[in-house]
Structure 1
Amino acid sequence: MRLFGSSGIRGTANEEVTPEFSLRVAMAVGTVVGGGRVALGRDTRASGPMLADAVASGLVSVGCDVDRLGALPTPAVQCYAEAEGVPAVVITASHNPPTDNGIKLVGPDGVEFPIERLERVEDVLAAEEFDRAPWNETGDSRQVEGARRRYVDSVVDAVARERIAAADLTVALDPGHGAGALTSPGIFRELGCRVVTVNAQPDGSFPGRDPEPVPDSLGDLKRLVRATDADVGVAHDGDADRAVFVDEHGAAITGDASLAALAAGALSPGDRTVSAVTVSQRLVDVADRVDAGLELTPVGSTRIVSRIRDLQHQGVSVPVAGEGNGGVLFPEYRLARDGAYTAARFLELVAERPASAVIADVGGYHNRRTAVEYDGDAERETLLDAAATYADASPGELDATDGYRLNFGDAWVLVRESGTEPKIRIYAEARENDRAEHLATDVREALETATTKC
């Protein structure tokens, strides 16, 4: 996919993702879906209203009627699309910096467009083969109320509400000024939890922390957990399709660990789970322990969703899937990443025992992640060539599903190009912290050395 990458279109707002570009993308989308109603939502980014106006105009120009939902989490837009049976466009850059924005496409089943449909949109856009409507057959645009309430109800009704409420939990919530601030506080309160918040005012400049909820950015949440004696901390990314956690001691829980813990509670013998090549050995261990299968895909929710669909069509049970960044899918609920639902499922586990105990069962590994940024195609190619050279010379077992994953038995390292930012990402994991640190540093130094020789 040339434009949509691993998780939709993303780039600097008003430079790469401009109103003009967004309008043309919307015209291509409307042409591919053949008119009719299309829902339109956005996250809280400052550039969102501008781009939403452009997208609405593009859809209307090819005869679509636009249901404008306003600011909502991406999974709330997906909930609306599924309930109404209409496709949707979401203006979001998810975890990217505040400067960025993007476009994600959702089908009338509430699931991201499959790869072949995204490619069709790209083809129409490239050829500018838009089905412009006559002047008297253009579409309408209307504001729609009630989408937030529908989404809150869908999450609350889909989990073990009474079990969570009986545990009398205190939840510390950090939606990071993103779209989750509009829905997650209410969801957790309706689940019977006491809720305390930080960074919970929707703000497109993200003043409290960056939209990506990585451990280093969760200092406010860690302090809030300790100060309020909370049972668990929950953090979202910008569009709240992800959730990461802090335990009752104020220690960050890696997304790899929470995915493995959630999988341990959902998988049964004969099931299958799907993850990306960034998968932690934690999930491998869980799948082995319960006699379930594990399949790997290239990074990105689009790829994971496509593989889950294939397995479902074969009659295979896939109760849980996802990546170690907090993006988890429970296909029996909806084939979409949903931060609030993921957090509610984690609350079901915490209702039985402390968060630290939940995670202890899937512990024993250390992770390191870093990245090398590039400027321009020439530097990008140099870095990719250096990654290939490093992989060829390594004694590790190579998996080239997406980039170069080298398995060493006691550890692994992965180097791959980001699908959303101008970076080459490096991931390493080992049972010993020093081993993980060494692997990540060794790859990074090899890549940086290559660029200095240019």
Structure 2
Amino acid sequence: MGPKFGTSGLRGLVTELLGSTSALYTTAFARMLLDGGHVKRGGAVMIGRDFRFSSPEIAAICMGALARAGLTPIDCGELPTPALALYGMRGGAASLMVTGSHIPADRNGIKFYRPGGEINKADEQSITALAEKLSSDPDATRVEYGSGADHSVDAIRIFLDRYKTLLHKAGLKGLKVGIYQHSSVARDLLVTILESYGATVVPLGRSEGFLPVDTEAISEETRRNFANWVRKHGLDAIVSTDGDADRPLVADETGTPLRGDLLGLISAKFLKAKVIATPVTSNSGLEEASGAEVVRTRVGSPYVIDAMIEAISVGKEAVMGFEANGGVMLASDFPLAGGTLSALPTRDCVLPIVTALNRSAQIGAPLSAIVAQYSLPIALSDKIENYPYEKSAALMAHLRASESNLAQFLKQIGDVKARSDFDGLRVTLSDGRILHLRPSGNAPELRCYVEASDQDSAEQVMAQGLAALTDWSPSSL
């Protein structure tokens, strides 16, 4: 099928990206920047990468292609995607992050940033069209390994400086926090940041090989590890991120992970946000719980960012966004007691992690009690991996073809009360439970989101939904 753009960046198999494909798409990105007047010839492009085994080679190919296209690559090393984006924005430079985020190590990807922030869907279409046009050009597909001046120390310093005034120095004092380090590019930064606020930090589970950590579909093994670690070390919480550290992971004092959209809500409350942009897959209770104007979007950071930009364009203030995976984006500057937190319109993991822990420290209550205070519907998310594109496309076409097809598919789960085709298929059952099916745009995965009034009902509908998806076959039609 080849690499393609999904909810955030270009992704594909390592075997597809290594070599001419990375050179081609980087050349197309450079051409888009130059043709659109976003950068001048010779302008800098910041390059970052995650800890995947394939990322250094892909980054070198990208740097070679950028230099060949007339731009100046700057090597920012291994760092969080939001740190790279911030560094580029501060310097008025474009950026390129080599990462597959949370997907398995046999896959990788590239995220692209204009000097003003993350590219949008129109930019993706432009890059794709240019790549098709340039695919027969030997210069555009030539593999050359480039390099750039090392700016890794400066990029990390600016990211750390951003959070120095988020809380007062004792904002996390009294908390003992485990950091599940695995292969996250933020694994050492999180230690520095949390200790600077007075937390006692326990590093856990550092990995030399790459581990795909999906903050929306946490594995049973990881959940067991969390439960064991909180007991063994007497922890108040465990925090982590996905591979490129633009999605947070926070577990409470029992080792139970918190939903990403709840982390976004806590951040919104901390910042006193007036407008929140968030996808349709985020918890349906946000409108009531936030006290802010909530704008629903399709899944993917470009859609959230477009909604934030639209809100700013019509004069809205205190505008932010977040996704169900917990990544928080700021379209506005937000005043704080110790200064101002500047806009950063790309997913960030640090803000939701710190604000959730601070809420616990501030009111002297465990994270589990804070979860209960918000009284949101119980929302769960999971996925089926290695679910072929063809199968998911056939399934969605079948379910949309007729009401009887959908009813037959759900006969063991419940009766259909309402349905929506807004980014996947979202079904509200007669008892109020929600089942939302959404094929991944750039990996052979099918995601399942559910909501219910209590944990048992949510777990039941999730199990039933995953079972129905697994059992379905086009051959049965």
Q: What TM-score do you get using the length of structure 1 for normalisation?
A: 0.88
Instruction: State the SS of the aligned residue for 1:407.
Output: strand
SS at match of 1:106: strand
> For the residues of structure 2 that align with 1:431 and 1:3, how far apart are their CA atoms?
37
1:234 and 2:216 are equivalent in the alignment: no
1:150 aligns with 2:172: no
> 2:472 matched to 1:449?
yes
Residue 368 of structure 1 deviates from its aligned partner by 3.9
Pair 1:398-2:419 in alignment: yes
The alignment partner of 1:257 has SS state of helix
Q: Supply the distance in 1 between the matched residues of 2:69 and 2:119 (Cα, whole angstroms).
A: 19
Partner of 1:122: 128
The structural deviation recorded for 1:188 is 1.4
SS at match of 1:78: helix
Give the aligned partner of residue 49 of structure 1: 56
**Of the candidates 148, 156, 160, which is equivalent to residue 167 of structure 2?**
160
SS in 1 for 2:118: coil
DSSP-derived class of the 2:16 partner: coil
Question: What residue identity is the alignment partner of 2:126?
Answer: R
Task: Report which stretch shifted further, 80-89 or 406-415.
Answer: 406-415
Partner Cα distance (2:452, 2:312) in 1: 33
Contact 1:60 1:66 in 2 (8 A): yes
Q: Once the 2 structures are TM-superposed, how far is the Cα of residue 347 of structure 1 from its aligned partner?
A: 2.5
Partner Cα separation in structure 1 for residue 232 and residue 401 of structure 2: 50
Do the aligned residues in 2 keep the contact of 1:374 with 1:423 (CA within 8 Å)?
yes
| Identity between Structure 1 and Structure 2 (%) | 24
Q: What is the CA-CA distance between 1:127 and the residue it aligns to?
A: 0.4
* Alpha-carbon distance, 1:377 to partner: 5.0
In structure 2, the partner of 1:40 is 47
Q: Which moved more, 1:234-243 or 1:308-317?
A: 308-317
Alignment of structure 1 residues 273-422 onto 2, 5 Å: 273-287=276-290, 290=291, 292-331=292-331, 332=333, 333=342, 334-353=344-363, 354=365, 355-363=367-375, 365-372=377-384, 378-389=390-401, 393=407, 395-408=416-429, 410-422=432-444
Deviation at 1:64, TM superposition (A): 0.7
Cα distance in 1 for residues equivalent to 2:201 and 2:125: 43
Distance of 2:17 and 2:95 partners within structure 1: 18
Counterpart contact for 2:424–2:438, Cα < 8 Å: yes
1:385–1:398 Cα change, 3 Å: same
Show the counterpart of 2:339: none
User: 1:273, CA displacement in angstroms?
Assistant: 1.1
Query: 1:99 deviation in Å?
Result: 1.8
Is the Cα contact below 8 Å between 1:413 and 1:429 reproduced in 2? yes
Distance in 2 (CA, whole Å) between partners of 1:359 and 1:318 is 24
Residues 55-87 of structure 1: CA deviation (Å, up to 9, x unaligned): 001111101101011111111101111111100
CA contact (8 A) 2:289 2:376 kept: no
Once the two structures are TM-superposed, the CA of residue 205 in structure 1 deviates from its matched residue by 2.8
CA contact (8 A) 1:171 1:193 kept: yes
| Aligned residue identity for 1:254 | R
Paired with 2:452 and 2:20, the residues of 1 have a C-alpha distance of: 47
Question: Corresponding residue for 1:81?
Answer: 88
How far did 1:212 drift? 2.0
1:108 deviates by 1.0
Hey, what's the Cα distance between the residues in 2 that align with 1:451 and 1:263? Answer: 44
**CA offset at residue 40 of structure 1?**
0.4
Change (3 A) 1:377 1:182: same
Aligned AA for 1:154? R
- Is 54-63 or 210-219 further displaced after alignment? 210-219
Query: Aligned partners of 2:108, 2:305: CA distance in 1, in Å?
Result: 22
User: Given residue 384 of structure 1, which amino acid in structure 2 is its aligned partner?
Assistant: M
Matched, 1:16 2:16: yes
Give the paired residue count. Answer: 436
Per-residue Cα deviation, 1:321-374 (whole angstroms, up to 9, x for no partner): 212222222333411211123212223212213222221112453334344456
Q: 1:142: how far off?
A: 2.0
CA distance in 1, matches of 2:113, 2:131: 17
**1:3 maps to which residue?**
4
Deviates more, 1:19-28 or 1:438-447: 438-447
CA contact (8 A) 1:261 1:359 kept: no
C-alpha separation in 2, matches of 1:171 and 1:295: 33
Mark the CA change 1:404 to 1:153 in structure 2 (over 3 Å): closer, same or farther: same
Q: Which amino acid aligns with 2:395?
A: L
Write the letter of the residue equivalent to 2:66.
L
Contact map agreement 1:215 1:252 (CA 8 A) in 2? no
| Structure 2 Cα separation of the partners of residues 421 and 50 of structure 1 | 22
Provide the aligned C-alpha RMSD in A. Answer: 2.7
Deviation for aligned residue 1:262: 3.1
1:188-267 equivalent positions in 2, closer than 5 A:
188-200=194-206, 203-206=208-211, 210-213=212-215, 214=218, 216=220, 217-267=222-272
C-alpha spacing 1:18/1:413, structure 2 compared with 1 (3 Å):
same
Q: Does 1:432 align with 2:454?
A: yes
Q: What TM-score do the two structures reach when normalised by structure 2? A: 0.84
Match of 1:107 in 2: 114
What is the alpha-carbon distance in structure 2 between the residues aligned to residue 57 and residue 376 of structure 1?
34
Whole-Å Cα distance in 2 between the matches of residues 413 and 239 of structure 1?
29
Give distance in 2, aligned partners of 1:453 and 1:58: 48
For structure 1, which segment, 312-321 or 232-241, has the greater mean C-alpha deviation from structure 2 after superposition? Answer: 312-321
Q: Which amino acid aligns with 2:105?
A: P
- SS state of the match for residue 405, structure 1? strand
Q: Structure 2 stretches of 5 or more lacking a match? A: 35-40, 141-145, 334-341, 408-414
Q: CA deviation at 1:316?
A: 1.6
Q: Work out the CA distance in 2 between the residues paired with 1:18 and 1:387.
A: 37
Please say which of residues 28-37 and 371-380 is displaced more in the overlay: 371-380
Structure 2 CA distance for partners of 1:443 and 1:356, relative to 1, 3 Å: closer
